[in-house]
Structures are given as structure tokens and as C-alpha cells.
Amino acid sequence: MATVKWGILSTANIGRTQLIPAIKRADLAEVVAIASRGSQVHEVAAELQIPRAYESYDALLEDQEIDAVYIPLPNHLHKEWVLKAAEKGKHVLCEKPLALTAQEAEEIVAACEKHGVKYMEAFMYQFHPQHQRVRDIIASGEIGEVKLFKSSHSFFLNDREGDIRIKKEMGGGAIYDIGCYSIHVLRTVLQAEPVLAKGIAKQDANNDVDLSSFIYLEMENGIPAAIDCSFDMTGRNEYEVVGTKGTIRVPFAFRPDLNGGVGLVITQVNGMVREEKVNGDIYRLEVEHFSQAILNDSQPLQTGTSSIQNMRVIEACYEAVETGKMVKI
């Protein structure tokens, strides 16, 4: 059976602890190379049993055996290395957010189309089947007409000195890093786009990035949404859909892997609560989906158009926070 041969651009923690192990668990995929800017890459390659190690990203992109690359580099480097990978004919799975602006996102998507390679932004959470279960419950009418969507994503960032998530020039900030999930799931579950944004934020005094942001979004169908994201609160990764008859709550929305891969869909109608456990290996499902798209020449679930739209909403959220005004998207 054919497999997609993967190269990993950087020894970033998410690659070592999540994506590379997921590729090893996956069908249709294998890791053949890893690159980093320095000799430490050889130790990482040996530890993870990866056949080839390169001391530069360019060297890895020259490897003719590699079909696809995974890019977990800091946000401000995404555009540069997606474009370089596309030019070398490599399919690209890139960590979110795709870019720092919608214009950059458009350039990335256009470049991948020009060079005939697949591109997918790594919103791994969406491959967990709990979200389809939520959409099915909404479609069934069990909770009535949807009137509100709420989402929270946070964690307490301890060692902040030098962390790239606190560096403005590297694309740091809570909305970029974790607010993007709530924006994405809002669009995915409601199958609609935000048209207005308003928000406030608590800024880091030294680095001018948002530590916590609180955003109001209005959807094109009139449904209001409230999202919050923070590096300054305890860990939460959840959303709730409120209808005229009941609610649906998903307490392990973005990181069900922290709950053993078990997602929960909790429906409450007329005081009656139903809790459904839904299993899924999100990183493996993501790798297998993208590998299958490459082998079958099919469109990945996360389209370039959707990634561009997500960036437009992120930009609007930051503009709303900075200006204090309601911003049209």
C-alpha cells in the first residue's frame, strides 16, 4: 500500500510529542526526515527513530523522497516556509494560524495552487467525531433554534520570559494562538460566517500582546457568539450551543487528547441531561486525512478558502480590540 513520506521542519515540541508519534500510529504515512537549524537535530532524529536529519530547512526541502512537510514553526515564519515548500513541490500541513494577515493567507493559498500541492492548516481538533455529533443534534431540532454560541480556550502560561507566544514580532498573542480555535469551531459548527466583531483585551505590559481577549461576534444569520481566550487563566477548551429548548456543551472541544481521546457531548433539554462519550485520535485522524487527500488527489477538509476567512476574522478581532469599535468583517 502506498504511503506518504513526511519531513518535519523544526524540532518544535508539538512535532516531537504530537505529530511525529501520530504519523507513526497512522496508516498511509511515515516520517523519513526532520530538520532544524543546528546539530541537535541528530539527537532528536535518533530519539524518534527518524532515518534522516538535516541541519537546515532548505536541505530537507531538497530531499526528493519527501512528499509532504509538517511546519510547526513560529507564526511569523509560516508564510516563508510554506512558499518555499510549495516551490519544491511538497504538500504542506502547517500549524495554525496559517499566517499573520489575511493577505498573507491569500498569498500562501495561491502559491500552493500555482505549484499544484495540497495545503492544510492544522486545526487537528476538527477531526474528532464529537463535533459532527453536535451538528447532528442541532440539525435534529432537539435543542430548538440556536440563539447563542459560547467558546472558551485558555491555559496559564508559566515561563513567559522568552516564550514566542508573548513576542509580538513572532505573531504572539492569545487570539492568534488559541482564539483561532474558537473562531474556527464557531464557523464550523454553525456553518455560517461572522460579519461583525467587537472586543476588549488585557495586554502584556512588556510585550504588547494580548494575554486575554474577550470577543463578541455576530453571525450572518444573526446568531451572537461570545469567545474568550487567555494565557492568564486555568486550562479550559470548551464550547456551548444554546437553543430555545436546550443546550449542548462540549468540555474537551479542542484537546480531547488530554482526556485520553474521549470527547464529551452533554445535551440538556427540559432538565434532562444526556452525556455521550465519543472517541477519536485527533492527530492521527488529521495525518490520515491529509495523507489520503494527497494519495487520492482530493480536497482536504480544511480548505484554503476557509483558512483565509479564519484569518479575516482574526484580523477583525484584533482591530476591534485596538480601536474599541464594532468592526465589519
Taking only the tens place, the pLDDT of each residue in 248-270 is 999 999 999 999 999 999 999 99
- Spatial separation of the C-alpha atoms in residues 247 and 230, rounded to whole Å: 24
- Spatial separation of the C-alpha atoms in residues 9 and 163, rounded to whole Å: 19
Task: Determine the pLDDT at residue 161.
Answer: 85
Grid cell 502547517 is found at: 94
User: Cell digits for 141?
Assistant: 431540532
Secondary structure E strands in the chain: 4-9, 29-35, 52-54, 68-71, 91-94, 119-121, 146-156, 194-203, 210-219, 224-230, 232-243, 246-250, 262-269, 272-279, 327-328
Q: Count CA atoms within 13 Å of residue 253 on its CB side.
A: 28
- Spatial separation of the C-alpha atoms in residues 151 and 241, rounded to whole Å: 9
- Spatial separation of the C-alpha atoms in residues 112 and 80, rounded to whole Å: 12
First and final CA of the chain: distance in angstroms?
Answer: 45
3-state secondary structure (DSSP) of residue 292: helix
- Spatial separation of the C-alpha atoms in residues 201 and 324, rounded to whole Å: 10
Neighbours of 125 (CB within 10 A): 26
Please, are residues 170 and 176 in contact by the beta-carbon 8 Å criterion?
no
Sort 241 into a burial class: Cβ within 10 Å, 0-12 / 13-18 / 19+.
buried
pTM above 0.85, yes or no: yes
- pLDDT < 50 stretches in the chain: none
pLDDT digits (tens, 9 = 90+) for 205-237: 888 899 999 999 999 999 999 999 999 999 999
**Sequence-distant (≥ 6) Cβ neighbours of residue 88 within 8 angstroms:** 61, 62
Please, are residues 47 and 31 in contact by the beta-carbon 8 Å criterion?
no
**Sequence-distant (≥ 6) Cβ neighbours of residue 46 within 8 angstroms:** none
Maximum C-alpha span of the chain: 61
DSSP tag of 95: P
Sort 238 into a burial class: Cβ within 10 Å, 0-12 / 13-18 / 19+.
middle
User: Cell digits for 272?
Assistant: 434532562
Please, are residues 122 and 286 in contact by the beta-carbon 8 Å criterion?
yes
Task: Determine the pLDDT at residue 248.
Answer: 98
Task: Determine the pLDDT at residue 1.
Answer: 61
Please, are residues 227 and 215 in contact by the beta-carbon 8 Å criterion?
yes
- Spatial separation of the C-alpha atoms in residues 326 and 201, rounded to whole Å: 14
